[in-house]
Structure 1
Amino acid sequence: MTTATTNGTTTTPPTKTPKKTNLLDHNSIKHLIDETVTEIVTSRGYKEDVRMSNVRLFIGAIIIVIALFAQFYNKKFPDNKNFLIGCIALYVLFNAILQLIIYTKEKNAFLFTYPPAGSAYNSTGLMVSSKLPRFSDMYTLTIASADPKSISAKPTVEFTKSVTKWFTEDGVLVEGLFWKDVEALISDYKDSKKSK
């Protein structure tokens, strides 16, 4: 097991049952790696910011309510034609808003955080995103500022590595190696300076 020391704090991968995945399932591999990255980032003092997820859930709930109203309205067709047209228009509008949020704000991000405790004015939260193209073993992890327009935003850092370096032949994640790589990237982000 690998122990990483950064700025006087030591973080160690939690000792628990090994994380295992199906190496033939691309989505399963990415999900397990992303989940582990979330654990690592939150163990470094970054608290997860779920506001964006809550907004998406709220808009999704509105879409479901609109669909239910359209389905169970107490008049039969064609008497409810105008009501159905209104429901369809609202359904399309809220779906478009949801897709716009995903496309412009979230992109490939799976984790947003608040700034670490005690750094209210000199830091921003993180936006952590990843890519694992289909039929490829090259995983790209990117750490960027959650607020890129902020004066305290730092440059984006990323690495691209083969997932074969982190998994055994049985599909077990070698957490010590993976933690070391992710923590090195977090340290690179913290140590980076904004270009003037």
Structure 2
Amino acid sequence: MQEKKGDAGCKGKKVKKTNLLDQHSIKHLLDESVSEIVTSRGYAEDFAMSNIRLLLGTVVIAIALFAQFYNKKFPENRNILIVCISLYIIVSALLLLIPYTKEKNAILFTYPPAGSFSSTGLVVSSKLPRFSDMYTLMIASADPQSISAKPPVEFTKTVTQWFTKDGVLAEGLFWKDVEALISNYAKENKKGK
């Protein structure tokens, strides 16, 4: 891996460094940087999915606490326990289905930028397959059925071009690639009109 120069050496800016032998930490650092780049372009993060998951998690905890601390002893509270166990299973299943149906590989959901004519935000997804150095970043419309939805855009590049041999992220190079993808997504809208 050859050493790349970015703005990692800028004064006053914290250097982003990762363990190059840990693929999960590489993906995590890149995903955090992507979120930072997208939000810096005027897209506000949409926390609706996170809030739904937190609400469902709270409901699951409340059900478990109610079943645990109900006033009556076991033979008398049998029906309440059956209801609580059933509700616990159903809500837990819903909580597990959200990542598989809605979130998938998404790292960021956004609202449309302020002052934009678009009525839909973005879904930013990423993949870094196991035992691979190829990072895929995809930007799509949060509501593909919307009239203002644009076709998704993506790139797949090796992570080795964004890190020095010491594991420091060459932010300038990475920002340039991500911003080019965001610009490409914005151009897709103009071509479609």
TM-score of the superposition, structure 2-length normalised? 0.88
Counting aligned pairs with the same residue, the percent is 72
1:45-194 to 2 correspondences below 5 Å: 45-119=42-116, 121-193=117-189
Q: d(CA) in 1 for partners of 2:12 and 2:181?
A: 22
Measured after TM superposition, the shift of residue 100 of structure 1 is 2.6
Shift of 1:123: 4.7
The higher relative CO (CA closer than 8 Å, separation ≥ 6) is in 2
Of the three residues 21, 24, 27, the one matched with 1:27 is: 24
Alignment length, in residue pairs? Answer: 186
Match of 1:161, SS state, is strand
Q: Give the CA deviation at 1:15.
A: 5.3
Gaps of 5+ in 1: 4-12
Q: Equivalent residue of 2:27, what SS?
A: helix
1:39 maps to which of 30, 36, 41: 36
Contact 1:141 1:159 in 2 (8 A): yes
Q: Per the alignment, in what secondary structure is the counterpart of residue 150 of structure 2?
A: coil
For normalisation by structure 1, the TM-score amounts to 0.87
The question of whether the paired residues in 1 share the 8 Å contact of 2:43 and 2:112 is answered with yes
Secondary structure of the equivalent of 2:15?
Answer: coil
* Contact 1:2 1:180 (C-alpha < 8 Å) held by counterparts: no
Q: CA shift at 1:43, angstroms?
A: 0.6
* Aligned residues: CA RMSD: 2.1
Deviation per residue, 1:6-37 (Å, 9 max, x gap): xxxxxxx9951101111222221111111100
The structure with the largest helix share of the pair is 2
